[in-house]
Amino acid sequence: MKKYKISFLLNSLFVSNLIFFSLFSCSPRNFSAHTAYQITTNSKIPDYNNLNFWAAHPWKKDLSDSIPKPLLPGFKKDSLADVFFIHPTTLTAKKDTQWNADIDDAELNAKTDYSTILYQASVFNEKCRVFAPRYRQAHLRSFYEKTPESEMAFEIAYTDIKAAFLFYLMYLNNNQPIIIASHSQGTKHAARLLQEIFENKPLQKRLVCAYLIGMPVPDTFFTALKPCTDSLATGCFVSWRTVKSGTPDNYFNSTEKFNAVVINPLTWTNEKALISSKYNGGGVLKNFNKIVPRVVSSQIHNNFLWSSKPNVPGKILYTKKNYHIGDINLFYMNIRVNTITRINAYLKNR
């Protein structure tokens, strides 16, 4: 099996709490119930028959159910497909000495839910049931400390993801169409899951789309699973990682020896031209209950998606070149609409 090449280091992931809390954090006003965080397990291995081991699950109220306030009037919940969402790295503190997260870490689970589950997984909730497993994620340093311990950390994390998906497939899916969605570390695991369980197997026919966001996917990683060619294509995948326009290719202090698949979420193609922000349906940033229109333009440049500075007050003060934290949020409405478009296209051709 080909190795999934990870090319960028510490500053490419959830490394700036300042950026995180200033741009993308806020509790939703329309969420009233708290997820249970007091999980106890003697084995420290998640039991996916227990709802507490799911950050998002259609059988309980959770933060993936949250809907930005401007979308509430026209919101019509449906369950035409399932989304299996694999969240990114939230185990980032330097004080943490373990290689993998404890599955019953209440503080970390709350951090995960009020960040990625709220701001990312919620994008899929209009026409889909959302499933997002808790898992023993690898610590952030696993990406830049190349040791047997770091490799084992990723292996443990993937073991949980695979177990969660197989449980979901056996007991919860009921032959529903499937969307695989992920960000950052989640994409590392999602790509492997697709390669092992979907590609060249009967399940590939049930794949609506895979949204493999925030990590580079080499164009040779898959054999049968192809990049999506437009907004209506199904049984395919999309991928991008976002940096400020003009950022040099060697920004992450590495030289990639492969061509990554990059799809522009403003067109859902690999067209290289600059796409105006007028095609951006809106982003969800600090205030979950506000849709920011025309928040960025974007352009594919080699292995990256170049983006303009977010169109928000004080943007002149925002000097970071790495927009990894906003890979999904900057294109929130485009992803939300595209999910529905692809589901409808899949069901029409089924």
Please name which of 305, 315, 313, 293 lies closest in space to residue 265, comparing C-alpha atoms: 305
Ranges assigned E (strand) in 42-200 = 54-56, 81-86, 128-133, 178-183
pTM of the model: 0.90
> Would you give per-residue pLDDT tens digits along the chain (350 residues)?
444 333 333 333 333 333 333 444 444 434 334 445 666 666 689 999 999 999 999 999 999 999 999 999 989 999 999 999 999 999 998 887 899 999 999 999 999 999 999 999 999 999 999 999 999 999 999 998 989 999 999 999 999 999 999 999 999 999 999 999 999 999 999 999 999 999 999 999 999 999 999 999 999 999 999 999 999 999 999 999 999 999 988 887 666 889 999 999 999 999 999 999 999 999 999 899 999 999 999 999 999 999 999 988 766 556 689 999 999 999 999 999 999 999 999 999 98
Torsion of CA 286, 291, 293, 299, to 10 degrees: 60
Domain ranges of the chain: 10-241+332-349
Residue for token pair 């570390």: 185
Q: Which amino acid is at 118?
A: L
Question: In terms of C-beta density within 10 A (0-12 exposed, 13-18 middle, 19 or more buried), how is residue 251 classed?
Answer: middle
